[in-house]
Every structure is written in C-alpha cells, then in structure tokens.
Structure 1
C-alpha cells in the first residue's frame, strides 16, 4: 500500500498548468454569478466590500506581483455586464496519493458553487460556526469566511496545512474582517475528541486544537467536505469521525461533494466505483430501508440546479453533492 501511495496523481482541474513547473503553482479562479443568478447580495458580498483597505496585509506571487481580489467586467450577449472577483489558490500540479490535498479537485469546485449560491440567495450561512473536513487548499472555507463567524479548516500533515494557511493569507482581503479562520490538524485515524491535542500553552504545536476550539466545534451547525472519498480505510475512518461529530452539541448538517472514480476489478471482472460503494454503505438515502451499518442519512442535491459561479472547469457526469444528517 505504501508503494501505491507514492504514485503521482493529477487533478483534471490542473490539466492546463505547465507540466514542468517546480514548486507551488498559483491558479486564479474567476468567480461571477451567471446572468440568471445575478443578485445584489453577490455584489455586496464580493465586490463592494471586498476591496482591500490600507491596513490589510498583501501577498506577492512568484513574479513579485500583488495578489489581491479585484473587479473584472464580463460582457453579456444582452449588453449587460457582470462583476466578478478572482480567488488565488496556491497548489501543486501533481502529488502523491497521500498528499492529494495539495491539489484542487473537481468536487471541491462544485461544492464551492453550492456554497456561493447559498450565500448569494439566503442568509443560512451568515454568522455560523463551520467546519471543513479534508479542506486541502482551503478554497471552500475561504469563501465561507466571507459570511461565517468562525471557520475551521482541517486536514492532515504539515505540508498540506502550511499550504492551506498560505492560501488564507493570500486571500485575506476577501475574508470578513470579523471572521475567525482556524487551520487545524485532524487525523481521521486518530482520537476524537482530540484530548491529547489540546494546547493552551504559550508555544503550542502548529495547527493544534485548544479547548475553546472544541467548544466552538460543538456549536457548529454546518460541516463541509469535498473529494474525501478515495480509499476505503480512510472513508470508514472519516465517517466514524463524522458520526461522532454529529452527536456533539448542536444539530449539524454535512454537505459532501464527491466524484465517482472507476477502476477495473479483477474480482468482479468489470469496471466498478469501489470508493463510491464504500460511501453508500455508510450513508443511506432517505427512502432506503434503515440498516445497522448506516448511522447517517442523506439526500442527493441536484447540481444541475446550482449555477456555475467558478469559471473554467467542466463538472462532468460523475460528481455528486449530498446533504447528510444523523440518522437518529
């Protein structure tokens, strides 16, 4: 299994990036509402109030240029124009399987579209405490930090967490100045609650949890995850953590986006999506009979009804978005 985890993989999202690039790459994702979804709330959230003030920190790209969200104008066939902004994400172009969180994946962009649409059409996420599991580059959580009160971005491994923290810094002008964004380590195979990881000392380990953090997580109402279904042992561990998390404090809703990935099975002698099958063993749809295995119940969200805010990627036919709650 260790040899398998050392294979290099590449997200379809990065197919246009230079293959010989060394070190982190910066991709700029243009975000604007489709014409039919234009709203004053989008403009208020991301255009009027997202321009950096003089006291906000700035970041530079590899060429020494400023990296800041900025306005752009896109012509429409009707002659109207729509405002947009740019989200800059640092990522790797390829990675080993164990470090897939260094890349941006398709389901992460679909979940971003969903989050953006909810933010622009409702106040459901306003002032909330939110937790993203397997946050990777942090793209979804950075968007949420425009309206949420507290956002926890969690993943495993210093390299992934360092990259995520850098993306938070790069996009700091976009964040709500009143929001708190915490980058924290969460090992799905480890203990939960994180009693051995609590750090209230003056010089805590990077990305460790404090007792205040855990109290805030208990009050979280929304949990998010994207592209976290790819290895069965990790999927089982993930849902064990989610089940425990759902039982803590206030009622929680998990929004999970995934992409079905197919491979040829010698046992079944056909092409199967084993990772998706493992996911479905842990989550039952509302109309299905209850089983002892599935302690979580979910319903699929029709992503064709979600406008595409993030430009420059193809959703394809194999991405699904689920709303998941505790079966109890």
Structure 2
C-alpha cells in the first residue's frame, strides 16, 4: 500500500470532535440539530438595532435580583425583574464527531468568531448591504447564511456530497433569516482544481452543485470572501491560497476575512509544542506596509492584517472564544506591469 493511501485511510478512520459540541447528546452518530442564539450585545452604543428590527425579535428573560437584608437584619424578598433582549435563533444541523476529511460536517470555534464579525459589520455599517459574497470551506454554512440577511447573493462552497447536502439542509432550516430578495447558492469548489471550475449541465442530477456560467460571472463581481477553520493542514493551506489567487486576481477587487484557531502539536524537529500549520499560513502573507515599497509594488502578493478579536462583541451565545482564535483581513496585490 502506498504511503499516501495509508495516510488517507488513517484520516478516514480517526474521529475528531469540535469543542463547540461539548454537551451535545452522547452516543449520536448521525446528524444533530443545535440551536444557536444570536442576540444584540448590551451596552454597545454603535450597534444600530433598528437596521435589523425584523430579525432581532424582542424576547424577555427572567433574572433575579441579589438577595439582600434590611437595616434590622430581615430578609428582603426580591421582586422578579424582567429584562428584555433582542435575539433570534439559527438552527444548524451538524455531526457531533467526524473523520478529518469530513470536518465540514461540524461547527468549529472560528466559524462562530467569524459569525460575530459578520453580525457586527452588518449591525454597525452598510458595507455588506447588497453585495455578492462567497464563503470558502463553508461547512455548515453559518457565517454565509448570516450574510444573506444583508447581501444580494451568497455562494456557500465546499467539497464533497455529504458536506454539501448538509449545507443545503441548513439553508432550508434558516431560510426565514435571509433577506427576502437574497439568493443563496450551495456550490462545489475543489481547491486542488484551477479556478474557474467547469460549468455543469443543470439537467444532470449528479451535477446539482455545479456552477452555471452566469454564476461564475457573478462571482467575478464579488467584493467579499469569508472563510473559517480552514487552516489545519499545509497541503490544504497551499490549495487555499492557490484558489484565492485565481479568485482575487480576476474581476473586481475582493477582500477576504479569514478566521482561524492556532492548533499546536509536539514537533520532534523542534522538540517543542509548535503551531506549524499557523506558521505555514503566515508565510503566504506580507504585512500591509511591506507591499508599499517600490520593490514590491510590481510583484503580486497577499497582504494581511490581523484584526483584534477582543474588539468584536459576542453576538453568538454560549461559546468560549479561547485565546488562540484569530481573524485576518487579506487582500491581493495584483502587481503592476
């Protein structure tokens, strides 16, 4: 057996689990539906809730006041106080565990960080209103579906029938969240194949996730790309930047917001716990000011700027961001002839 085949077989057999799914019912091997509560953070004046008044429904949550005593030492029975909050629910079908090639069937922490960022941009700016956007490695499609409340067209892309079918199910579960005029497409995008992908025949059932010529033309006009939890394999990172070069070097100027979680492993070469996958990702990026010099202006390059995650309010409830989640803004300098 070839070494590559052995590695692939091992990845197919090994099961992994996202920390997001801790607390889900144990022993379930098939799809499970989780409900993610999205609410407006309290005390943030720049959030303009009226922009999404119909999306963030008002719900009341009961909270008890602290127990106190009067000056005579008698217990003061508190009156129940009702606090209102504006929120809505996203229903996400996912697997609780999966093999490594099928990690797109799970929800991962960086996808929730990216969702917080998308929600904050939509609530505080008009940057995403009426745009065409594409999510790379969409998996369950959470961030892309949230975008569909402001964007004109959203393409949710991934590879593999099981992941794409699960993503379609989530689109069906959450269609009420979308802008009524938004178009949401689930499409196959294999990063090891060159961009643009082949145009499929709409009448062929097995090509239901294929692209039409008009869709590829629309993607060329896209201004926004998003991705989350796609940095965990050097081969995959190489393929990602290959497809990004094809996407970002053509058509209108595009910006990518990429959320990731630094993952550490013990390295025999370094005799230490290191994040080699993260280092490989960083090797593709130049800091913005590096591409400003005359020696780099004529050379194509990816320009990266890390966004301070601590400055992004948390809209998605009940998850811990941890200390290793990062969000990057990435642009492509096409170079000058």
Q: TM-score scaled to structure 2, two decimals? A: 0.85
What are the ranges of 5 or more consecutive residues in structure 2 without an aligned counterpart? 1-6, 66-80
* Residue equivalent to 1:53: none
Q: Deviations over 1:240-261 (max 9, x none)?
A: 1101111111000000000000
User: Given the alignment, which residue of 257, 268, 277 partners 1:266?
Assistant: 268
Query: What RMSD in Å do the two structures reach over aligned CA positions?
Result: 2.2
2:303 is matched with 297
Cα distance in 2, alignment partners of residues 72 and 30 from structure 1: 11
Q: CA shift at 1:2, angstroms?
A: 1.1
Larger-gyration structure (1/2) = 2
Instruction: Give the whole-Å Cα distance in 1 for the aligned partners of 2:286 and 2:19.
Output: 29
Aligned pairs for 1:243-322 within 5 A: 243-288=245-290, 295-322=301-328
More RCO (CA 8 Å, sep 6+): 1
Say whether the 8 Å CA contact 1:283–1:294 is kept in structure 2. no
- Structure 1-normalised TM-score? 0.88
Contact 2:61–2:82 under 8 Å retained in 1: no
Tell me how far apart the structure 2 counterparts of residues 145 and 304 of structure 1 sit (CA, whole Å): 25
Alignment of 1:70-85 (within 5 A): 72-74=59-61, 80-85=83-88
State the aligned residue count: 306
Determine the C-alpha separation between the residues in 2 that align with 1:191 and 1:44.
39
Runs (4+) off by over 6 Å: 76-79, 289-294
Q: For residue 238 of structure 1, what is the aligned residue in structure 2?
A: 240
Match of 2:72 in 1: none
Task: Tell me the secondary structure at the aligned position of residue 89 of structure 2.
Answer: strand
Query: Helix, strand or coil for the counterpart of 1:169?
Result: helix
Contact 1:200 1:211 in 2 (8 A): no
Match of residue 146 from structure 1: 149
User: For 1:228, which of 224, 227, 230 is the aligned residue?
Assistant: 230
Counterpart of 2:209? Answer: 207
- State the 1:98 CA deviation: 0.1
The answer to whether the Cα contact below 8 Å between 1:282 and 1:293 also exists between their aligned partners in 2 is: no
